Each structure stands twice: as structure tokens, then as C-alpha cells.
Structure 1
Amino acid sequence: MTTTYTPGPLLEAARTTPTALWNDSSDLSELKQSIAFGGVGATCNPVIAYSTIKKHLDVWRPRIEAIAAANPTWGESQIGWQAVRDMSVEAAALLKPIFDEHNGRNGRLSVQTDPRFHRDAKALADQAVEFHGLADNIVVKIPATKVGIEAIEDATYRGVSINVTVSFSVPQAVQAGEAIERGLVRREAEGHDVSRMGPVVTLMVGRIDDWLKHVVARDKLFVDPSALEWAGVAAIKR
């Protein structure tokens, strides 16, 4: 695939700074535009997939009907997750040239595990392994909860590149990083290659901002609005 890049501040930032631009969508048209701006990654989860399906009903209605027809015993959840898988595979294919160019450092699609498994570490790890098998450049989201930390180590040991999510504090990030390291060490000790794995820990600074804005509005607090834009950064720096 030949990419035609779009000059501008995003492309300049991507090329001249350590910034790695990710697209918070797996909509193929949006992802193509993001790549043209210098984007090197993207995300897919049920909410994002639903938004894409609603936006492109002409494309996805027949595809979902075909999934349902091919799997007559499946319920809505199973059909929906298959749509997520299909969407993820297609988005990952768009990013694969970037993945190859950067030797796995960039060009990944991040796919979220099912939040209904939040109490089951084995189910999270098993689904992570399944998603990992969808494409070479998949990275799988697992939350930095007590159960999630266990799943992160297990999935890493089994060869999955993890994107730690639901991570709002330095202690969470440290524990997640330690779990990843334990998984990598165990994997290497058994002679498995880890050179192409690309685990990351995401500190969700913006989500802290979002929550504080909600609290300010809910409790009718008087706060300088500009302070809220930096609240997450301030909290993480502490």
C-alpha cells in the first residue's frame, strides 16, 4: 500500500518529535486519513466498533446478517464480537506496512478484551491469546486491576503484546510493568523469542481530566476551566 501523506502540524510532529500518533478508531476511512497525517496505530473496542457500524450501516448490516446466518446458534454478543474481530483484522492490515517498517515498534492495532471477564484472569488471558492470533500486529488491552495484573503476566508469558488499560496511577503502572517483565522473563527462560513483542502501559491521563470535569459539573464547583485540562498531568506527576 502506497501512502500519500498530508502535510501539516500532525505529520511534522510525527516526523520530528518522539510523538507517536494513534487513531482512537478502527473506521477504515478515518484510519487511512490518520495514517496520512503520520498516525502509526489505532484502537478497536466494542464502543468504537458500534460507532463504526452505525456510521457505515450500508456496509455492516449485510456483513452482520451474514455472520448471524453462518452461526445460527449465536446470540447478539457473539455476533457483535465477531464484527469486532473482522473490523480489527481489516484495520490491522492497514497498519501492517508501518509495523514491518518499524520492526514492530509501531503499526499496531489495540484490541480490547471483553469487560465482562473482569473477574476472571484466565478468561482475559485466553481471549488475549485469541485476539493476538488475529494478526501479527495486534496488541491486546487488559485492565490494570488485581485480576487484570494476573492476566497480563499470563498473557505476556504466552506471547501476547499487552496494552495495559484502565490505568490511572503510577502504582498501577508499576505493578503492570512488573507483571509484563515477569511474563517476558518466564517466556525467555523457556527459549521463546520476545524481540518482536511490544507491550505498553497506558497512563490514562485524559480520563482523569474527564472525571474531574464531571465532578465539577455534578457538584457545582467553581474551578478555573484551564486547570482541569492539566489536572491529569498534575496527578500523574505526583
Structure 2
Amino acid sequence: MSTPTAQLAAAGVSIWLDDLSRQRIITGNLADLIATRNVTGVTTNPTIFAGALANGESYAGQVKVLAERGASTDEAIFEITTDDVRAASDVFQPVFAATDGVDGRVSIEVSPDLAHDTEATIAEAKKLAAAVDRPNALIKIPATKAGLPAITEVIGAGISVNVTLIFSLERYGEVIDAYLAGVEKAKAAGHDISTLQSVASFFVSRVDTEVDKRLAAIGTPEAKALTSKAGIANARLAYELFEQRFADDRAKELLAAGATVQRPLWASTGVKDPNLPDTLYVTELVAPGTVNTMPEKTLQATFDHGVLEGDTITGNYADAHAVFDQLAAVGVDFADVTQVLEDEGVEKFIASWHELQETVSTALKSSLQGDA
């Protein structure tokens, strides 16, 4: 009897863990999740690293060495996080080889402080890629207006990219354009475009959180009936756009030359409303060639009691469009929703980045004082 996570993988969904710590790597927990939970990749962000470092004795030795060397806070963060990503990339090397480079991927994010600075994002992405120096690393770049040209430039330099913080279909279309332009640039520069991989991270539960708040304020029976429907509908329409755009002439020409599609990735898939099934954003977003990056709690819930019913996306486009018509009819301004979410998403990652800086700065000082 196959497990729900095995069934999910068989349906064409790559399961990535939305968490990384040195403890997971050195205890063998990460390898165990690969072996028993069908995990084929890992994503990280500043919040994840802040949590890992705040609770991680496994970093003490390295922090001590960095402190004695006189490393700055940002230098220490760079070294610690790239070491973790390099080590995780090595753990995933067999998956990377077995999937011809599609999976076995580990993501690391450029500093969120650079989210509105194109040139600085490009420079840091290249620096991170060089420091990690693993073919299965993905550099995360946010899908802000300033991030779009950075995505093109970094992919054009032959670096694989995870585009994060996508909320709207309009922005997703621009992300696909940025990816295709990057592949064209890489091809012109003589890079092997068959080795370039990219995912487009579409956030799901955050959409429901914001929309449901607005529906509750509207308060009509029609509004309340739409509760918790926007996130899944939005993601399903993203997959529809993915299918359309990678079947057009521009994409087909690149695919024929060896390029790969930029896969949709479902992010923010932990359920925030306790009234909803805890596997909702997994079982309702199943389609071939997608990635679902899950917090461990969601991963374990899926393994334990997820009910998989095959493809739950491609036959539901009409229903998804209907949800958006109904949202507009009751007065939800979805363009405003997605702008608020993008702004909040960047702000939250910046706050987590500053928390990470504070954690590392304190650890560096404590380490030196411990020697005094």
C-alpha cells in the first residue's frame, strides 16, 4: 500500500520541505525525510534561518570561529547559511542525479533588504551561487518590480532561480516573461540551458487569510460563502496560465533547444484556519509538473491522512474563474489584495532578516564574552 506522499509524488508533484537547519542535516533527519516522506528538495527563507540559529547549539562552534576571526554580522550570516545550503545540497545529490537535475534542489534567498534594488539583488545572487557552488542550488529572488529584471539577468548568467512572493496572475505572467528572457540570454551567452531550472513560488494560504478578512467585513451571505476559496482558485488559474504560456511559440522554441519549463510551486501551504482540513493546500493543488513546499507539520499530516484523488487542478478552471467573478461581485478588490500581500511579504521577510541579524550579532558577542 503506497503512502499518501508516494501517491502525491506519483501524481507529478515534487514534495519540498519548507525548512532547513544544521540539526536536520547532522542528525540524519533530512536524509530520513527523503527516504520515508518522498521529500525531493528544501526551501529556506530568513524566517527559517532565524529560527534555526535561535534554537541551534549546532552553530556554536562555527559562531565562535567567526567571532574570533572578527567577522561582521552579515559576513557570519552569509557563511553560516551558505554552509548549510551546501551541506543540504550534498544530501540531495542522489535525488538531483536520479531526476536529471529537476529535483534535489535547495533554495537560498538574497537579502530581503535588497527587494527593491535590482543591481544589488543581481550581485548578491551571483555571490550566493558562487559561494554555495553546487549545481542543485536555487537562488531565491522576490517577484517585486525590481526583482523581475534581476531574475532575467541571473538566469542569463546560467544560475537557476526560485522566484518567490508571487500573489497575482498579472505578476506571474511577468515572472514567466522574465524567465524566458533569461533563458534566451543564457542561450545567447553559450550556457547549457538544459541545466537551468526555475520555479515560480505562488503563495496560497496568505491569499485566503487576506481575502477572508475582507469577506468577513463585507458580511453578506454571498461573501461568507466564498470563505477560503480564493487561495486555491488563484493557484489553479496560475496553473492554467502556466499551461498556456509554455505552449506558446516563444516557449516551444526554447524547449526545443533544450530549455526546461519553469514549474509552478505552491508556497505558504500550511493551513492557518483551524476550521479547514490541515492538508487542504496539498490535496486540492495536485497537477503534473508542480512543486509543493510544505512546513514539516503539513508534510506529516499529508503522510498520515492525506487523501489524494489525482489531478485536482486542470478540471477545475471554470470553477476557479467563477470564484473570481463572485469575489468581484461582492466587492473584493483582488488587485489590492495582491499588492497588500506583496508589500507585507517583503516587510515580513525584512523583519525576519533583521531578527536573524540580531540573533547572529548577539551570538557573536556572547561567544567572545564566553572566552573572556
TM-score computed with the length of structure 2 as normaliser? 0.56
Q: Superposition pairs for residues 58-207 of structure 1, below 5 Å?
A: 59-70=58-69, 72=70, 74-133=71-130, 134=132, 135-207=134-206
1:165: how far off? 0.7
8 A Cα contact 1:44 1:84, kept in partner: no
**1-structure distance, mates of 2:116, 2:63:** 29
| Aligned CA distance change for structure 1 residues 196 and 30 (closer, same or farther; 3 Å) | same
1:13: how far off? 2.2
State the structure with more CA Rg.
Answer: 2
Aligned to 2:41: 41
Secondary structure at the aligned position of 2:106 is classed as strand
Aligned to 1:11: 6
RMSD (Å), alpha carbons: 2.5
Q: Superposition pairs for residues 220-235 of structure 1, below 5 Å?
A: 228-235=227-234
**2-structure distance, mates of 1:205, 1:153:** 25
| Equivalent of 1:22 in 7, 13, 16 | 16
**2-structure distance, mates of 1:213, 1:33:** 37
Any gaps of 5 or more consecutive residues in structure 2? 238-320, 322-372
The percentage of counterpart residues that share the same residue type is 25
1:98: how far off? 0.5
**2-structure distance, mates of 1:121, 1:47:** 22
TM-score computed with the length of structure 1 as normaliser? 0.85
Look up the equivalent residue of 1:45 and give its one-letter code. N
8 A Cα contact 2:215 2:224, kept in partner: no
2:56 counterpart of 1:56: yes
1:160: how far off? 1.1
1:229: how far off? 3.7
Q: Which has the higher contact order (CA 8 A, sep 6+)?
A: 2
> Which of 79-88 and 207-216 deviates more?
207-216
Any gaps of 5 or more consecutive residues in structure 1? 1-6
8 A Cα contact 2:215 2:226, kept in partner: no
**1-structure distance, mates of 2:110, 2:214:** 28
| Aligned CA distance change for structure 1 residues 78 and 234 (closer, same or farther; 3 Å) | same
- The Cα offsets for residues 205-235 of structure 1, whole Å up to 9 and x where unpaired, read as 2221243456678x69689999544321223
Number of equivalenced pairs: 228
